[in-house]
């Protein structure tokens, strides 16, 4: 059963989808069903728990495909100071784009795009604007207490990582002797992220960070997500129709 939502102000959308929707209702036809997945309970902004299991090689093709269409301790928080991280697999375990719905006041305003021709929000002309490639990483922000996080990288950083992963001299991303630093910089109204490779032998000298022991690394690797695990679950058919109905009002 879908969770109740409270919505705010309305916005105008193209008239054609509204006419088609009204025409369909007049004929007593149901909204088109999603073909590729069974209905799920509506979930807004829930994240999966980190669990044991082997992470498969992620499909880098998804990075470019979805990009073109497109809080909490669980996530890596990137600040203006460099954070040393260790990536635990050679590709993202989840890649997705999301719509941003300002009208939603109760719950997450971010709605995962279905990434196919059945997505009701795409059909309305609401483009999925945010891209996320999700990686399991170990954060060494506190060198004495390394912790496992999910890192949601944007398209620019994801493509840099892809270049490294597919380079026989620099990759793979989860090479035992390879670490990274990531930091963000705010310039006027934009935010830029800087990624740098760091070799294990240089960690202590350059960043005063001891590398992970073999035992520590093995323990973190055993907790990686399976490829295909979804950080943000998509809304089911009914919940999507609720959002669409909101946007269609007085369109």
pLDDT, one tens digit per residue, over 212-227 is: 999 999 999 999 999 9
Indicate whether 49 pLDDT > 70. no
Q: Over the stretch 13-40, which tens digit does the pLDDT of each residue have?
A: 333 344 444 444 444 444 333 333 333 2
Mean pLDDT on 104-111: 81
Of residues 78 and 28, more confidently modeled: 78
Among 161, 43, 143, smallest CA distance to 93 is for 161
pLDDT category at 51 given cuts 50, 70, 90 is very low
Most confident of 58-62, 78-82, 235-239: 235-239
Residue found by looking up tokens 């829930």 in the block: 46
Task: Tell me what percent of the residues of the chain surpass a pLDDT of 70.
Answer: 70
Residue found by looking up tokens 């004929």 in the block: 27
Sign of the four-CA dihedral 16, 19, 25, 28:
negative
- Give CA 25 to chain center in angstroms: 35
Indicate whether 2 pLDDT > 70. no
Please report, for the chain, the start and end positions of each structural domain, with discontinuous segments joined by +: 47-234
Q: Supply the pTM of this predicted model.
A: 0.69
- For position 60, what pLDDT does the model report? 53
Interhelix angle 15-26/237-248, nearest 10 degrees: 120
- For position 62, what pLDDT does the model report? 53
- For position 197, what pLDDT does the model report? 96
Task: Tell me what percent of the residues of the chain surpass a pLDDT of 90.
Answer: 47
Q: Over the stretch 146-196, which tens digit does the pLDDT of each residue have?
A: 999 999 999 999 999 999 999 999 999 999 999 999 998 887 778 889 999
Strand partners, 100: 110
- For position 145, what pLDDT does the model report? 93
- For position 9, what pLDDT does the model report? 33
Alpha carbon distance 162, 185 (integer Å): 22
- For position 43, what pLDDT does the model report? 26
Indicate whether 53 pLDDT > 60. no
3-state secondary structure at position 30: coil
């Amino acid at each position: 059963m879908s969770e109740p939502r409270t919505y705010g102000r309305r916005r105008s959308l193209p008239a054609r989808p509204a006419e088609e929707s009204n025409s369909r209702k007049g004929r007593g036809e149901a909204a088109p069903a999603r073909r590729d997945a069974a209905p799920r309970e509506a979930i807004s902004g829930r994240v999966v728990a980190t669990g044991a299991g082997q992470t498969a090689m992620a499909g880098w093709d998804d990075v470019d495909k979805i990009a073109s269409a497109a809080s909490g301790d669980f996530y890596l928080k990137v600040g203006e100071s460099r954070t040393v991280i260790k990536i635990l697999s050679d590709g993202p375990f989840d890649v997705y784009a999301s719509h941003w719905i300002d009208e939603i006041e109760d719950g997450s305003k971010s709605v995962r795009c279905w990434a196919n021709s059945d997505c009701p929000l795409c059909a309305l002309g609401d483009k999925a604007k945010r891209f996320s490639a999700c990686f399991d990483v170990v954060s060494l922000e506190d060198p004495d207490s390394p912790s496992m996080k999910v890192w949601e990288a944007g398209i620019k950083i994801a493509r840099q990582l892809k270049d490294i992963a597919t380079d026989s001299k620099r990759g793979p991303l989860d090479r035992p002797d390879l670490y990274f630093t990531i930091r963000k910089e705010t310039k006027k109204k934009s935010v830029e992220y800087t990624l740098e490779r760091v070799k294990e032998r240089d960690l202590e000298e350059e960043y005063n960070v001891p590398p992970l022991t073999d035992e520590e690394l093995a323990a973190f690797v055993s907790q990686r997500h399976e490829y295909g695990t979804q950080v943000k679950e998509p809304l089911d058919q009914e919940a999507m129709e609720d959002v669409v109905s909101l946007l269609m009002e007085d369109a």
